[in-house]
Amino acid sequence: MIKAGIIGATGYAGAELVRILMRHPEAEVKWLVSKSYVGERFSSIYGNMFRIIDEDCLGEDLPQLAEEADVIFTATPQGYLSQLLTEEILEKTRMIDLSADYRLSDVSVYEQWYKLQHGSPQLIKKAVYGLCELHREAVKKTRLVANPGCYTTCSILSVYPLVAEGLINPATIVIDAKSGTSGAGRGAKTANLFCEVNENIKAYGVATHRHTPEIEEQLSLAANEPVTVSFTPHLVPMNRGILVTAYASVMDELTEEDIRIAYEKYYKDEYFIRLLPAGVCPETKWVEGSNFVDIGFVLDMRTGRVIIMGALDNLVKGAAGQAVQNMNLLFGLDEKTGLELVPVFP
């Protein structure tokens, strides 16, 4: 059995890791680490785990945990892992980081967007961006996985094939994204109170959201040239889910069949990516609680643009599910192991 430790186990992403790993046939959660709830029973924080997990939360000790765990998930704020991770720790265990500390290849870009000084820039080159469908073989060989963000996973996977095949003008990409409130984390914030969120929708991080350079870096790799996108996220009054609607001008006179062929070239064998039938638009309810990404598109002949839509659960494929998918790759397991989660509806 793979012995797993979770640092940040009492956040939403950490708790989702616990839920998924509890039914994983090849892994067991051995350490639940929480800075805020040391000594408290996990099931007292998450009542859904009553009589399922009886363990108490432990304090932070990354070097000691590295001695005992086969894999460590860090569901922690930006900057946490970069200040603690060392070559010695990586020699002893594998790390899957759900923060942005190792997602960007250029440390100056990270420091510019996150307003943090990176604590271990020498380790960035050892990290692999853990978008499994695009970097599967590299993930298998690394000891440090940078688990992608939720907005980025949905945005990149939705647009990637058309950029890689040169079917759209990458300079025209506009991404409009909407997320449920769990994406903001479990911390108490006035902006996330029920009365602030309910019956409301709002844009935030306009032209400044920190997932922007992550999207741009991966799409630049697809295009073999620098790509700049307009990305605007919105907060909507639901618990889970991300819906991305992306717009781009097509390069030539394309048909919907041309576009579908491009998607099938990249995703026809990808279990977790569901390319929807023509005329069907993704809905967040169709992926809730699962590791699926649903993608649909419409070619607007009148404007010469393609409208691309993607939906995922921000806590599963956008965080914990993708982290477990990366773990499966690291340990030579079938990617679907422990992740064949049927979406919850309604």
DSSP conformation class of 317: I
Tell me the torsion sign for CA atoms 223, 269, 233, 320.
Answer: negative
Q: Which residues are catalytic?
A: 150
β-strands 128-129, 144-146: how paired? parallel
- Crossing angle for the helix pair 212-223 and 150-164, nearest 10 degrees? 20
Looking at this protein, which amino acid is placed at residue 108? S
Distance (Å, whole) CA 191 – CA 3: 38
Q: Mark out the alpha helices in the chain (DSSP H runs).
A: 12-21, 42-45, 62-68, 80-84, 87-92, 107-114, 132-141, 150-164, 194-197, 212-223, 256-267, 321-330
- DSSP per-residue codes, 76-108: --TTHHHHH--HHHHHHSEEEE-SSTTT-S-HH
Q: Which residues contact 226 (CB under 8 A, 6 or more apart)?
A: 216, 220
3-class DSSP assignment, residue 58: strand
DSSP string, 255-290: -HHHHHHHHHHHHTT-TTEEEPPTTPPP-GGGTTTS
Among 34, 97, 20, 22, CA closest to 330: 97
Two structure tokens written together for 188: 């108490």
| Residue 144 main-chain phi, psi, to 5 deg | -135, 110
Q: Are 222 and 193 in contact (CB under 8 A)?
A: no
